[in-house]
A and B are shown apart, each in its own frame.
Chain A
Amino acid sequence: MTLLLVGYRLLPPPSRQIESIAVLPLENLSGNPAKEYFPDGMTDELIGEIARIGSLRVISRTSNGGARKSLPAEHMLVESGPWPLLGLPPVWYKSAAYRSRAVIDPPGVLREKLSEAELAALVTRDAMVGVTKAPSAGEKT
């Protein structure tokens, strides 16, 4: 997840104006059908928040329901959008150590937990564009 965030933050702003957007439904990866409300609620929250941007047209949930691709809810955990649902990010995300080094030395921050080979094994095209869950790795502690 850290890998995705760092990549996201270093992307340049899009040069073309975006006029409409569809929010793909988030997916319940817990294996527990009783938790279906959680990704559903997050999807609704995202649609509601984005719909408040006057210059952006949000394609309704019913009209994007036909799209089979969905996003794993875990991908959204750290970013600040769904605060009302999830609370604040983990403490390390605010720490001076993370915020300073994530800018000047992002590979170094990532290598604190995983080796370069372990990191490389996590990178797949679909995970990097956010349409599938990144492979998991045993983290060093």
Chain B
Amino acid sequence: MNGVHNMGGLQDMGSVHREKNEPVFHAAWEGRIYAINVSLRAMGKWDIDAWRHQIELLPPADYLRMTYYVAADQ
């Protein structure tokens, strides 16, 4: 699927911002979500193809503002 996630080569996205001393998780709940994700994959309930498909179903404007973790109320 050639959606907004396929952004290689686009221009005018601004400069790359690097967070100094970035933690692996920015909040404790991110670690829990990550562990759930890894566990579901290990149990065979979820795989990387299903994951990618769900990512590609996100509305483009939402996809662009999201990082790895987004709280549901944001």
Q: How many residues of B contact A (CB 8 A)?
A: 22
Would A91 and B68 count as touching, CB distance under 8 A?
A: yes
Q: Chain B: which residue is nearest A88 at the CB level?
A: B68
Number of A-B contacts (CB under 8 A): 61
Contact residues in B for A83 (Cβ distance below 8 Å): 38
Query: Complex Cα distance A3/B14, Å?
Result: 19
Contact residues in B for A87 (Cβ distance below 8 Å): 24-25, 31, 34
Q: Chain B: which residue is nearest A91 at the CB level?
A: B67
Query: Complex Cα distance A104/B12, Å?
Result: 11
Query: Complex Cα distance A87/B69, Å?
Result: 12
Would A104 and B19 count as touching, CB distance under 8 A?
A: no
Within 8 A of A (CB), among B7-23: 7-11, 13-20, 22
Kindly provide the distance from the CB of A49 to the nearest chain B CB, expressed in whole angstroms. Answer: 12
In the assembled complex, A95 has its CB within 8 A of some CB on chain B: yes
Would A96 and B64 count as touching, CB distance under 8 A?
A: yes
Contact residues in B for A104 (Cβ distance below 8 Å): 8-11
Would B8 and A102 count as touching, CB distance under 8 A?
A: yes
Within 8 A of B (CB), among A47-102: 83-84, 86-88, 90-92, 94-102
Kindly provide the distance from the CB of B44 to the nearest chain A CB, expressed in whole angstroms. Answer: 13
Contact residues in A for B9 (Cβ distance below 8 Å): 100, 103-104
Q: Mark B50-68, 1 if CB is under 8 A from A, else 0.
A: 0000000000000010011
Kindly provide the distance from the CB of B2 to the nearest chain A CB, expressed in whole angstroms. Answer: 14
Q: Chain B: which residue is nearest A89 at the CB level?
A: B68
Query: Complex Cα distance A101/B19, Å?
Result: 18
Would B20 and A94 count as touching, CB distance under 8 A?
A: no
Sample of 27 A–B contacts (CB below 8 Å):
A86-B24, A87-B25, A87-B34, A88-B34, A90-B22, A91-B19, A91-B22, A92-B17, A92-B19, A94-B67, A95-B13, A95-B16, A95-B17, A95-B67, A96-B7, A96-B13, A96-B14, A96-B64, A97-B17, A99-B7, A99-B8, A100-B8, A100-B10, A102-B8, A103-B9, A104-B8, A141-B20
